[in-house]
Amino acid sequence: MDSETCFDLIKGIAQEVVTEAELRELLETNAHPLAYDGFEPSGLAHLPVGVYRPLLVKQLLNAGVRLNLLLADSFAWINNKVGGDLERVRVVGKYFLEVWKATGVDLSKVNVVWHKEHFDDGEYWKKVLLVAKNHTLARTTKCMQIAGRKEGDIKQVAQLFYPSMQAADVFHMEVDICQLGMDQRKANMLARDLAPSLGFKKPVAVHHKMLLSLSGIGSASQSDELSVDAEIDAKMSKSKPDTCIFVHDSVAEITRKINKAFCPPRQVNGNPILEYAKEIVFRAKPVLHVERPVKYGGSVDYCSYAELEKEFVSGSLTPPDLKNAVAIELDALIAPVRMHFEKNKEAAALYAQVKGFETTR
């Protein structure tokens, strides 16, 4: 595969690439760069981590990228996820691997890294302290968005280690590409800013979109230019289950939630249903089929998101018809995961354990 095709595949998963010129240069000199994706294992898998991220990972692998999947158990422990119980956090990590297998991610092509491997390595901690010595406390507190925290939410000193640890991970794994959500941007920029002066490789940052919750952004209008912070604040969260779709939701539950979702006629900005169509449905398949009675124009197949959006803005496609079509497609993607956890005894046991754990923010 030529470097320009690889570039298009990688850029295709991103809301932002820092920088595109650096990514092009990287791909011209390295056909198989090393990227990493990572997340805290906590709670039950929802649409962003259980469906969307696997689609992005498959696209990265198709581009020839090597991938470290970092299960950030130490971070979840520091961040008091699952009640701050490290052993339970690791159970959740194993459960998430089962989710990704069920979505069709070939884990034999992914290097799974538990953060404990870094946590127990003295050389890693030297990098953490080196990073910490070279930026300010003010920058650390500004970076706490990466942990889902605001400055006033910080209750323990250990939480302040989070940004320095995440930047040190980038250097310790010697990655070429940081592939994370826009909510992790501040940590990636910290790593990029410090890398040259500390003698480490400067990574390319590929930031993907944060999926909106089913509540969307009600204050948005068609003419609004939504800020990144507004999108992050409105992202789908497991702590708000009625505005969130889980990979264990039944078809009836998915339909119920989608039908209640924010989706004003003709409005694109802040509209989660259109976003799921663009980011998930059309990433998974080339056509979105919309069923509707002949008296309302009959069924129609949309072969691109641009075509779908144009019809929605014109009023030719109504919110109920769009919602019905997206609910059907999301269920089709989630169904194999539900089935895996119903039929696989080991996966079912992990699900039962995780379901019983306390969900803490």
Could you tell me where the DSSP H helices lie in 33-179? 47, 53-62, 73-78, 86-102, 116-119, 122-133, 137-142, 162-173
Q: Span 25-43, mean pLDDT?
A: 94
> Across 220-229, 291-300, 330-339, which has the greatest mean pLDDT?
330-339
Please give the angle made by the CA atoms of 274, 334 and 73, to the nearest 5 degrees. 100
**pLDDT value at residue 308:** 97
pLDDT digits (tens, 9 = 90+) for 192-222: 999 999 999 999 999 999 999 999 997 666 6
Q: Span 148-169, mean pLDDT?
A: 82
Q: Give 310-313 contacts, CB < 8 A, sequence gap 24+.
A: 312/266, 312/268, 312/274, 313/222, 313/266, 313/268
pLDDT digits (tens, 9 = 90+) for 112-136: 999 999 999 999 999 999 999 999 9
Give 342's pLDDT tier (boundaries 50, 70, 90): very high
SS3 category, 82:
helix
Asked whether the predicted pLDDT for residue 361 surpasses 60, the reply is: no
| Gyration radius of the chain's alpha carbons | 21
Asked whether the predicted pLDDT for residue 148 surpasses 80, the reply is: no
DSSP notation for 197-264: HHT----EEEEEPPPBPTT--TT--TT----HHHHHHTB--TTSGGG--BTT--HHHHHHHHHHS---
Distance CA 211, CA 195 (A): 30
C-beta of residue 182 within 8 angstroms of C-beta of residue 228: yes
Eight-class DSSP state of 359: P
Set out the domains of the chain in order of their start, with CATH numbers.
3-208 (3.40.50.620), 228-356 (1.10.240.10)
Give 316's pLDDT tier (boundaries 50, 70, 90): very high
**Average pLDDT over the chain, rounded to whole?**
92
Q: Span 246-264, mean pLDDT?
A: 97
Residue 194 CA, chain-centre distance (Å), reads: 25
Residue 209, phi then psi, degrees to nearest 5: -70, 150
Query: CA nearest 278: which of 1, 5, 6, 12?
Result: 12
- Identity at 17, one-letter amino acid code: V
**pLDDT value at residue 274:** 98
Q: Helix 345-356 crosses helix 319-343 at what angle (to 10 degrees)? A: 110
How many H helices and E strands in the chain?
Answer: 18, 8
**pLDDT value at residue 233:** 84
Query: How far, CA to CA in Å, does 304 sit from each of 5, 35, 48, 353?
Result: 20, 29, 21, 41
**pLDDT value at residue 4:** 94
Asked whether the predicted pLDDT for residue 262 surpasses 60, the reply is: yes
- Residue 114 tokens read as 């538990």
Instruction: Please tell me the pTM assigned to this model.
Output: 0.92
C-beta of residue 44 within 8 angstroms of C-beta of residue 354: yes
